[in-house]
Structure formats: structure tokens, C-alpha cells
Structure 1
Amino acid sequence: MNVDIKQSGGLDHATVRTVLSVDQPTGKAPLELFITDEHTENYLTLKMSGDAERGAMTGMLAGIASPLGLLLSIWMTMEGEWALAALSLAIATPMFVIPFLFEICRPLPLPVLFNRRTREVYFEKEGELFHSPWDGIQAMACEFQIVGPYTGGIGNTSLEIMLNRFRDPGNSLMISLGSPIGKTLDMQKGFWEYIRAYMNNGPWFDERGNYSESDNFVKSQLNLNTKPSSFLAHWRKTIADKKTATNGKNYLSGMDALMLLGHIMFYPTHWIQGFTHNIAKRKSRNRWPTVVLERLQSDGPATRLIDIEK
């Protein structure tokens, strides 16, 4: 069931509303806005609010507090203070185990999922499955301003699509494709072109959105979203590039050295955060209903959910 979008009721204060279609180019180049979670041959997923922060608590406690407790335990052992050494170890261990178990056992919110094989969009909310065929779907881009006494007017643009509840097409839901904060209308149009290029021409495409045998452009877009665990490698490469550009002469500034030291210190924290997040994500992905999971497989059913309803 296709529904023409007239107005997004959640943004009645929006100043400009623009309807975007799957078969009409916006004139903008494809642009990934650090929202994509997975970009595969069969499906594309977008991160939901609360996804990126998972693992941060474990990373901070396990990456900072636990090593300090472990070092203190080693020190006390060398001093012969066995009771204090055991106490330090007993405090350091739960600082990793408890937040780790807490964060991986809580399910992550499922992402917005674009299935290229069946040309469908899926979303889960409070155990209810929502979906829509890709062909004929529309997106609503709404420009609005947040005005504050100290910041003045800050422009933002949301991007929303409408999905219908599975086996209850009369129940619809508007979902946001990422946070609108800090995004312009042109940026959202570029992101819509990224999704259009994937669904219509993908899975790999070039800077104009045309089909490509190479995934170079897609990787160049996704690589811009540097993960915390990659900060150290990224900064080391930055310093190496400076060294090459200056032939090794006076290439390392005080700020470079300070930033490198900071990334080395926080690398364990960032690595543990990424490790925890990946485990929580793998556990959560199995929460999709069977009708969705089987359609994500290369040899899965090609029928759409709307066909099942009919």
C-alpha cells in the first residue's frame, strides 16, 4: 500500500517540506552521513539512536579503572602485601565483568533495513514489524530551526519515511533516517541519493550514483566514519604523511605528540568499547522475525511482505 506523503505531523513547525521519490533524482551526489551500519550486497542498515554509545561504559571502566587496579595489585604483590593485592584484583575484575555483561545482555535497537533483493524496507518497534515496498515509497525532508538565546537560529533537516505494520496496513509509522541535528536539506538529499543508488543501481556505485563493478566509492564514503578504535592508526598515518611531506624535518609538533600520546592511552578503552558493541550487535540482529531473516539470505525467498499479506 503506497501512501503519498503530504505532511509530517511530528514537525508542524518545519519551514520547508520537500518530498523525495525513489524514481526522481534530487540533483545531488550520493553522500553517506555516518549513519550506515552495514552495506552488503543484499541489504543496507542504518544506525538507530542509542546504537553508537553501547560499549562506552565498559570501555571506560575496563580500559581505565581495571588496568589501574591490576597495576596496583601487581605493585602490592611485589611489596608482599598479599591481602591488598587480592583486594585490588577483586575490585578491578568486576569493573570489567559487570558492565560488560550488562551492555551485551541488553538488546540494541534494530536498525532501519533496506533489502535490495526483495526491494523492501523493514523496521521494528516494540516487537512490531513495519515494512514497505521500495518502489513507490516517498521520503519527507523537513527543514526547521532551533532557536536559543545564546546560539541564535540553528538550521536542521529531518528525513522521514512512512512504513506500514505487517498484517495491519492501516497502522502506519513515520520513522526518521538518522538524527536531523546539524544537517542541511542538501545533505539529506545527498543521503537519499546514497540510498537510491544502493537500491536502484547497487550494491556498488560511483560518485554519480551509477552502477559500478568496483566498491571503491562506497568504501571511500564509509571509511570517513572513523571508529574510536581506529583513532590511533588514523593519527599515526597523519603523522607519517606529515613526515613524508617535510622529508622528515621538523614534522612532529607538540600538538601532534600530545594527540598521539592521548590516543595511545585511550586505545584500550576504545578497543574494549568496539569489542563490546560488536558482541551486543550480533546478539541483537537475531531478534528480527523469521520472515525478515530468511529474506536477507542470498538464496532466501524473493517474495515481499506485502505479497504475503495479500
Structure 2
Amino acid sequence: MRLAVLLISCAVPATAQDFSLAMPVDCTLGTTCYLQNYVDHDPTDAASDFQCGDLTYDTHKGTDFGLPSLAAMKAGVDVLAAASGTVRGVRNDMRDVLYTAERDAEIAGRDCGNGLVIAHEGGWETQYCHLKEGSVAVTTGQEVATGDVLGEIGLSGRTQFPHLHLSVRRNGQVIDPFDPDGQIACDAPSDDTLWNTPLNTPQGGLLSAGFAPDIPDYDAVKAGTAATRALTSQDAIVLWTFGFGAQQGDTLVFTITNDAGEVFASEVELTRTQALFMRAGGRRAPDEGWPAGLYEGRIDHVRNGTLLNSQTTSVTLR
């Protein structure tokens, strides 16, 4: 059973008045990026984020700003200085490759991948990890201002999805920017944060959706290449979605419609907690084939009877 109050064992008290952070990624939360993981506040082998939720893992020491696909990473998403300060160190030569156990020797001691550390006044520092190879745009000793471009989100170091891992420390101790005093009351989350603009922090949601003639390969979904814009009248119609923060008991509601009305509807219950997930539903073509035209797809992500969010997409059948 979770305690009513969780304490992050490595943190020291801090307040938002001491130091503040700007958004460290040039993206729109909930649209072109999302918050995947937070600082782990549970001192045991279990894990719990600042909302007493599951978006973290044991000993995780930062905040992860994720991209919905490898295609988004390749297009380029800037990492920005969250506060002004002096660059203390830089790494810029590691490959952008999905982590596997076979790469342990290659990344030993360099789990952060490409990145940098910025020192700020008052004993504060921020660390930016998993940047794209060759993208780091600052040098050691350089003074940077809030909002300056530091590099681009990548896939370097110990990571299996493109994201920025932002760590915040004060006098060497980890601080959670969403709960800087290090104390959590599960029934009343603190509204005192380090963010100079409040960030939306959903405990899960849908990142992308699309149509395909068959259940797509998960790697293609993560790469951002699974969706098709056109199908033939003899193709199966499959609606898929990619999301984060699945909890056991969540429901996905799939609906496909065309000009004549509903073509397919299904509810899928999620049976386990997953950091990232993909699900799909659809129907084979009838013997006479599908009518030509525009087909609309919608997926609703529901938790405990409440709609978390939705994704919509469309495809043309010829």
C-alpha cells in the first residue's frame, strides 16, 4: 500500500521563488510532444511520481519530454535552455540508436548520451540528456540565456524512444520541478512548482493514430511510418493508435464511420500497465468491397469512466 505522503530521499527543500524553469523543448505539450516520465519519489524498490501515479520507474531522476515518433525526431525538435547560466560540460558524439542490452559496453558510464550541464546561481544546475548526435550547439564555458537553443532531441545513450531527459539539481541533490519541496500528499498535490508557466501533466493519453490495411508493425508505429492515406475497396480497414501511460482497466473505444454511417465499433480493455502501447481494431472488406469515399476514425482513451483524450484520423478508399 502506498503511504499518504511520499518523500524523495535525495531532495532538499526548495521553493519556486528560489529558481524557475522555462519549457526546455520547442514543442506543444499534448500535440507535438508529451511528458512520459517524472522523478521517482518512492524510496523503496517500487516507483511513484509526484501525482502518486505510474509515470516513472525506480530511481528515475528527471523529467522526460517525449516525441511521438522517430520521424518527429528526424525532422528536428530544438532543446532550449530552461534557465540562464554557464555550460559546464558537453558530449556530442554518441550515435542515435535504440538501446539494447548488447550496447551496454558501448554506453557504459554515458547513459545520458549526448548532452550538457548548465550551472545556475544559487547552487542550481540542469542537465539535458539524449540529444541528437552532432546537434549540441553550445560549448563548455559558454554563457546561455533562457530559451537559447542547446541542440535537438535525439536517441543517444540509454533510451528506447526519442526524448529529452531533464534533470534538476541543487547543491548536487535531485529536485523534482513539479514538487520542489520533496513532499507529496497523494490526495492533494502541491501547486508549488519550478515551472514559470504551468505544464499540463496527464497520467496517460494517445499520441497518434492512423489507418492501415493490416495491423501495423509496432516499430513502424514508433517510427511514424505506419499510417496510410489511401486504401482500395478490397483492403481490410484497420484503425490503430499509439499511446502512453496505460493502466490496467483503461478502455479504448474505436469507431470508424463513412457517409453511410458506422462501419466498425469496438471497445478494447487494457489489461496491464504500459509506458508505451499500441492497439488496433478493424474489419475485413465485404465480398462486394467497400464503398469509395472518405472514412473517419476516432479512438477515445477512457479511465474510470472519464475521457482522457481522443485521436481522430481519416483515409480515402478508392
TM-score when normalising by structure 1: 0.25
Structure with the larger helix share = 1
TM-score when normalising by structure 2: 0.25
Higher relative contact order (CA 8 A, sep 6+): 1
Structure with the larger strand share = 2
